[in-house]
Amino acid sequence: EQQVQQSPASLVLQEGENAELQCSFSIFTNQVQWFYQRPGGRLVSLLYNPSGTKQSGRLTSTTVIKERRSSLHISSSQITDSGTYLCAMGLSGSFNKLTFGAGTRLAVCP
């Protein structure tokens, strides 16, 4: 059974601080996607990063396939970054089904 572990489970930051979220996989994967979700809200795709490093604004994801892990770095956090960050893995050729981690709940305080 494919498993995704995310750490930390929760994180509290002061506005302006950086955050590093981690994701590890039980198997080798060639599909990694990071999502953001507000309570009761839609999953918003942040980055699709199957390997290497990708950046989008203040977000940087690094995926190391051989180590079965991915990270999401949030720089200069803002109050509006508060919410849950979900990591998901999948395998192309298996209809790209995703397996999700439990998420990291981020709270950014003023």
Partner 1 sequence: EAAVTQSPRNKVAVTGGKVTLSCNQTNNHNNMYWYRQDTGHGLRLIHYSYGAGSTEKGDIPDGYKASRPSQENFSLILELATPSQTSVYFCASGDSGAPYEQYFGPGTRLTVL
The residue ranges that bind partner 1 (CB under 8 A) are 31, 33, 35, 40-45, 48, 50, 86, 88, 90, 92, 95-103
Q: Which is nearer to partner 1, 3 or 78 (CB)?
A: 3
**Least separation, in Å, of the C-beta of 43 and partner 1?**
4
**Least separation, in Å, of the C-beta of 27 and partner 1?**
15
Q: Which is nearer to partner 1, 17 or 51 (CB)?
A: 51
Largest distance between two CA atoms of the chain: 45
Taken in order 66, 68, 69, 70, is the CA torsion positive or negative? positive
**Least separation, in Å, of the C-beta of 80 and partner 1?**
19
Q: Which is nearer to partner 1, 77 or 84 (CB)?
A: 84
In 1-110, the DSSP E strands lie at: 4-7, 10-14, 19-25, 31-37, 44-48, 52-56, 59-64, 69-74, 83-90, 98-100, 104-109
**Least separation, in Å, of the C-beta of 13 and partner 1?**
23
Q: Which is nearer to partner 1, 42 or 110 (CB)?
A: 42
Taken in order 103, 69, 60, 54, is the CA torsion positive or negative? negative
Cα separation, 3 vs 27, in Å, equals 8
